[in-house]
Amino acid sequence: MSRFVCKIAYDGTNFSGYQVQLNGRTVQGELEKALKKLHKGKAVGIIGSGRTDANVHAESQVIHFDSELAMAPEQWQRALNAILPKEIAVLEVARAWNGFHARYDAVGKEYRYRILQSRNRDVFRRNYTYQPFPMTTKVEAMQQAAAYLLGTHDFTSFCSPRTDVEDKVRTIYSIDIRDVGDEIVFTFNGSGFLYQMVRIMTGTLMEIGQGKREVEEIQRILEAKDRFKAGHTAAGQGLCLMRVDYEPSPFSTQRNEENEG
């Protein structure tokens, strides 16, 4: 039995999220369906670095699975991509070391959120940006407010109540907010993120940028530990998981050579 780790990308538009659900098409469900086909009807479960909501995308999600099939990583990549729907792509496969865990071994993640500021509806970006109307946002105010979120805090106020996670302490390393053409792009780097945390932080920062809240209010929201004190949850389609970090990386050339040996 060998453990394999995969880096995958997906367009979340037509999925009910990453995690398997009783009624709904999911990324995990499609991946496990493909693995079941390759294993001649035998169910094979996968573990992801985390879950994403409906309409949320990923440029670099990481999963792992165990298999008795004697296939090289490049064979796994070709075989899975031949079966998976076009919205999912396996970008890289490696043989993981014993005990590797896609979720528990992750040491950091990066998310990107895109807001479209155009007054005209953009039919080509509607599934990948959030376009609220009206949209007059001060980036400088959001940057000032974001500074309060940096560091280690209890992020209960920025987490959906619909979670079973008890420890809501996380560390935010950086938040970058900038104008990029007709978009405002948020980039969040942290040790990990709670359920809907990035979307709630984005929604709250947007309200500050629109003048609906004061910059200093972020500190009071953190201290309150109350979801209802924070702003709205920004729409899912603007969010994309960009990167999952590991130390060492399971995709590093050296580790791959050791695992193959």
**pLDDT tens, per residue, the chain with 261 residues:** 899 999 999 999 999 999 998 889 999 999 999 999 999 999 999 999 999 999 999 999 999 999 999 999 999 999 999 999 999 999 999 999 989 999 999 999 999 999 998 888 899 999 999 998 766 788 999 999 999 999 999 999 999 998 889 999 999 999 999 999 999 999 999 999 999 999 999 999 999 999 999 999 999 999 999 999 999 999 999 999 999 999 999 998 545 545 555
The verdict on 75 and 166 lying in the same domain is: no
The verdict on 112 and 237 lying in the same domain is: yes
The verdict on 28 and 76 lying in the same domain is: yes
The pLDDT value recorded for residue 2 is 95
The pLDDT value recorded for residue 176 is 98
The verdict on 145 and 133 lying in the same domain is: yes
The verdict on 94 and 119 lying in the same domain is: no
Provide the number of structural domains found in the chain: 2
In degrees, to the nearest 5, what angle opens at C-alpha 84 toward C-alphas 78 and 86?
105
Rounded-to-integer distance, Cα 185 and Cα 210, Å: 16
The question of whether 53 is a catalytic residue gets the answer yes
The verdict on 96 and 184 lying in the same domain is: no
The pLDDT value recorded for residue 255 is 54
Reduced to 3 states (helix: H, G, I; strand: E, B; else coil), residue 152 is: strand
**Could you say which DSSP state residue 97 is in?**
P
Residue tagged active-site, from 11, 53, 176, 226:
53
**Residue listed under structure tokens 């805090």:** 153
Which of 212, 51, 53, 52 minimizes the C-alpha distance to 132?
A: 212
Q: Is the dihedral of CA 43, 66, 6, 104 positive or negative?
A: positive
The verdict on 88 and 116 lying in the same domain is: no
The verdict on 112 and 234 lying in the same domain is: yes
**CATH number of the domain encompassing residue 156:** 3.30.70.660
The verdict on 223 and 252 lying in the same domain is: no
User: Could you give the angle at which helices 139-146 and 197-209 cross, rounded to 10 degrees?
Assistant: 130
**Burial grade of 120 (CB within 10 A; 0-12, 13-18, 19 or more):** exposed
Rounded-to-integer distance, Cα 37 and Cα 185, Å: 39
- CA distances to 70, 160, 162 from 168, rounded to whole Å, are 41, 11, 13
The verdict on 74 and 38 lying in the same domain is: yes
Which of 144, 137, 135 minimizes the C-alpha distance to 217?
A: 144
The verdict on 221 and 140 lying in the same domain is: yes
Question: What pTM did the predictor assign?
Answer: 0.93
**CATH number of the domain encompassing residue 43:** 3.30.70.580
The verdict on 210 and 91 lying in the same domain is: no
What domain range includes position 193? Answer: 108-242
